Amino acid sequence: MSDLDKNKQNVAAFYEMMFNDCKPREAIETYAGAEYIQHNPHVGDGKEAFIAYFEKMAAEFPGKRVEIKRAFAEGDHVILHCHQIWPDDLEYAGIDIFRLDENGKIVEHWDVLQELPDVSANDNSMF
């Protein structure tokens, strides 16, 4: 297996564990490197801020889940194209970008979210 494939597997497993399995501490301990730099303005920087944010989210939104639609890897970056499904029929299309260290551990994260619209000017899906 190539390093790029291994990086995609690690990032997907991290995302599944922290979001769907509601185990952000275990996800960080298993898949994050020495540092964790966060670019999402709603989440504090660092591992403990990440854990606190996603533990609170898991408690407040039981049943939330994410479906990874695509994963891309290049160099030390992995990009996920995801469908987030929340309680009360709220859904998002998301792009998550992760940077990994030389050991394949996640050390940095960016994301962009777009709420799925009720009406679209075309018949194509967001995925």
CATH number at residue 99: 3.10.450.50
The verdict on residue 108 lying in a domain is yes
The number of domains in the chain is: 1
Map residue 53 onto helix, strand or coil: helix
The verdict on residue 102 lying in a domain is yes
21-74 pLDDT, tens per residue? 999 999 999 999 999 999 999 999 999 999 999 999 999 998 999 999 999 999
59-108 pLDDT, tens per residue? 999 899 999 999 999 999 999 999 999 998 899 999 999 999 999 999 99
Enclosing domain of residue 35 = 3-115
The verdict on residue 41 lying in a domain is yes
**Token pair 């944010």 is at which residue?**
53
Q: Whole-prediction pTM value? A: 0.94
The verdict on residue 122 lying in a domain is no
Q: What is the Cα–Cα distance from 96 to 78, expressed in whole angstroms? A: 8
End-to-end Cα, the chain, rounded Å: 27
